[in-house]
Amino acid sequence: MHIQILTVGKLKERYLVDGIAEYVKRLGPYAKVQMIEVPDEKAPENMSPAEEQQVRVKEGERLLAKLGADVYVVALAIDGEMWTSEQLAGSLDKLATYGRSQVAFVIGGSLGLSSELLRRADMRLSFGRMTLPHQLMRLVLVEQIYRAMRINRGEPYHK
């Protein structure tokens, strides 16, 4: 399986960079994982809704440009479906079984994902109704992908 994790902005916090690198290394025997960052737009605190929309559109265009036509796209969105780790594992297993072995998980910037990108997505996945920093979400996501791979192989992993 080939998994892309597309994100907006550069990850700067060392502890997050180290944590993500550890899980990507652990995923090596299960999948090829590629982290792709696109530049974020400046988003001052006092933006109008129209300005916020423009930021999402520009960031969305950058993300869409990185997606191949045959990639199964999972948009991380607060209004998406909430799954258990076992459901994520089952979904990844089904995708691989039915020839959809190229999967891209997309994490938006601080203002979320553009409507264009959400339309391109094959599904929306939520990790809960609470807002998480998009940088932290990268670590949570890669850990859950690792957990899913272990579940699919029937291998033990801490609960």
Residues of each annotated binding site for S-adenosyl-L-methionine: 76, 108, 127-132
> Which residues participate in the annotated binding site?
76, 108, 127-132
Q: Dig out the tokens for 106 from the structure.
A: 């997309």
Q: Dig out the tokens for 52 from the structure.
A: 């916020």
Query: Quick count: other Cβ atoms within 10 Å of Cβ 45?
Result: 4
d(CA 145, CA 120): 21
d(CA 33, CA 154): 20
